[in-house]
Amino acid sequence: MSTHPEIREGVRAVCSGFGAEYWRTCDREHRFPQEFHDAMAAGGWIGVAVPEAYGGGGAGISEAAAVMEEVAASGAAMNGASAIHLSVFGMNPVVRHGSEEMRRRYLPRVADGSLQVAFGVTEPDAGLDTTAITTTARRDGDRYLVRGRKVWTSKAPFCDKVLLLVRTTPREQVARRTDGLSLLLADLQRPEVTITPIDKLGRNAVVSCEVVYDDLPVDAADLVGEEGRGFRLILDGLNPERILIAAEALGTGRAALAAAVAYAKERTVFGRPIGQNQGIAFPLAEAHMRLHAAALVIADAAARYDAGEACGEQANTAKFLAAEAAFFAADRAVQTLGGFGYATEYDVSRYFTEARLMRLAPLPQEMVLTHVAEHVLGLPRSY
């Protein structure tokens, strides 16, 4: 895509300093790419979507998506994208609903990269049923005490703060199950918090964790928005999250396709490059078309969001199509390289495992289909 070429060029310039060996090493050693994070912060890219009044670039989701796509397409894939994802747009609930004092205290530090923030919503027994979370925040004078357990909290060991969805009113005491949930910006590196990394298949440069909160104190001033309306604040951030994830999947697919095409041109078998064979060439051509179609949907969804228009259908469609296109491209890349596709030194195996993740996170493809079936086609709700 040619949208925001100046942004793309600037991001590519930063990413060019972090080649394939850097990302292989970070992934293999389960090492957070701090050098990359700091370079992106120094270039102003982490703060691209933070309002100018708080030290950011003041751009929208369209620009942020261009940044994230180019990061992933550089070969950083989801390891690189996930290292900065939450900082780029994850603080949107604070931007939109936080107090002025909260914005001034935290957003400039997010924009310059000195403050990393995690996101704590998912729980082991609630899964996608967010209203069933059991992590509670009990009011105690001018503070809350948080008790409960979250899973899949990315970057937890490296973050000083966490946006934490908690229940402040018991579910049985609210009229609607979406009521009584609140969003807190809590301290994470405290003795009341236990962080345990989760062993996983891929994207290992960015750790995912189980986090246990044992009466963690949180200042009442760090409540985002109104008490009891946290679920609505989370919903407000879902569409931009879908769009950014789609852009990251698109970039990962681009990286995989580029590696496959380069190999298909250079690898000679039976006296000719394997890319001359239609069995190799046609799937790669199809991968290109699928990625291009996904890029168009992402651009449409981002433009609608930035214009303040309804974009639930477009954002969810973008996430679905980009995840499918990225996985198809990565799968064909592995197939193109044959046995070498399974070797870590050729990188496509890393793209494959990371592209597979995007069909699961931040929600599985089936949940996107239920959204479209219910809210676009008007079919009865399935759950």
Q: Domain residues for 98?
A: 5-111
pLDDT, residue 127, reads: 82
Give the mean pLDDT of 78-97: 94
- Where residue 3 falls among pLDDT bands split at 50, 70, 90? confident
| Same domain? 125 vs 102 | no
Give the mean pLDDT of 74-91: 95
CATH of the domain at 125: 2.40.110.10
Instruction: Flag whether pLDDT at 170 surpasses 60.
Output: yes
| Same domain? 240 vs 355 | yes
**What pairs with residue 195 in β-bridges?**
211
Least confident span in 17-21, 172-176, 211-215: 172-176
Phi, psi of 185 (to 5 degrees): -100, 95
Give the mean pLDDT of 45-51: 96
pTM for the complete prediction?
0.96
Instruction: Flag whether pLDDT at 1 surpasses 60.
Output: no
Question: CA 14, CA 25: separation in Å to the nearest integer?
Answer: 18
Cα diameter, the chain: 78
Q: What is the pLDDT of residues 299-317, one digit of tens each?
A: 999 999 999 999 999 999 9
The catalytically annotated residue of 241, 248, 324, 354 is 241
End-to-end CA, the chain: 37
Give the mean pLDDT of 56-79: 97
CATH of the domain at 12: 1.10.540.10
**65-to-1, 44, 301, 382 alpha-carbon distances in Å:** 11, 15, 10, 31
Of 229, 247, 271, the residue that ends a domain is 229
Return all residues near 41 (Cβ < 8 A) that are at least 6 apart.
47, 112, 113, 114
Per the structure, how many domains does the chain have?
3
| Same domain? 153 vs 273 | no
Query: Between residues 128 and 266, which one has the greater pLDDT?
Result: 266
* Residue 312 lies inside a defined structural domain of this protein: yes
| Same domain? 168 vs 130 | yes
Give the mean pLDDT of 4-18: 97
pLDDT, residue 143, reads: 97
* Residue 381 lies inside a defined structural domain of this protein: no
DSSP string, 173-196: GSSSTTTTEEEEEEE-SSTTEEEE
pLDDT, residue 204, reads: 97
Return all residues near 316 (Cβ < 8 A) that are at least 6 apart.
242, 368, 371, 372
Give the mean pLDDT of 341-356: 96
pLDDT, residue 18, reads: 98
| Same domain? 280 vs 207 | no
Q: How does the average pLDDT of the chain come out, rounded? A: 96
pLDDT, residue 236, reads: 80
Alpha helices in the chain (DSSP H): 5-15, 20-28, 34-42, 61-71, 77-85, 92-97, 100-111, 230-236, 238-266, 278-306, 312-337, 348-357, 365-371
| Same domain? 160 vs 287 | no
| Same domain? 26 vs 45 | yes
Give the mean pLDDT of 132-161: 97
Active site (annotated) includes residue 35: no
pLDDT, residue 2, reads: 64
| Same domain? 337 vs 223 | no
CA quadruple 257, 262, 263, 265: dihedral, nearest 10? 120
* Residue 158 lies inside a defined structural domain of this protein: yes
* Residue 301 lies inside a defined structural domain of this protein: yes
* Residue 262 lies inside a defined structural domain of this protein: yes
Crossing angle (nearest 10°) for helices 278-306 and 61-71: 150
What proportion of the chain, given as a percentage, has pLDDT over 70?
99
| Same domain? 86 vs 166 | no
* Residue 282 lies inside a defined structural domain of this protein: yes
Question: CA 193, CA 214: separation in Å to the nearest integer?
Answer: 6
Handedness of CA 121, 161, 224, 94 (dihedral sign): negative
| Same domain? 288 vs 360 | yes
Q: What is the pLDDT of residues 217-240, one digit of tens each?
A: 999 999 999 999 999 998 888 899
| Same domain? 360 vs 295 | yes
| Same domain? 13 vs 100 | yes
Return all residues near 128 (Cβ < 8 A) that are at least 6 apart.
363, 364, 367
* Residue 383 lies inside a defined structural domain of this protein: no
Give the mean pLDDT of 279-307: 98
Of 182, 207, 229, the residue that ends a domain is 229
* Residue 309 lies inside a defined structural domain of this protein: yes
CATH of the domain at 343: 1.20.140.10
pLDDT, residue 117, reads: 95
Take residue 257 and report the two structure tokens written for it: 């396709």
Of 204, 229, 254, the residue that ends a domain is 229
Please say whether the beta carbons of 30 and 207 come within 8 A.
Answer: yes
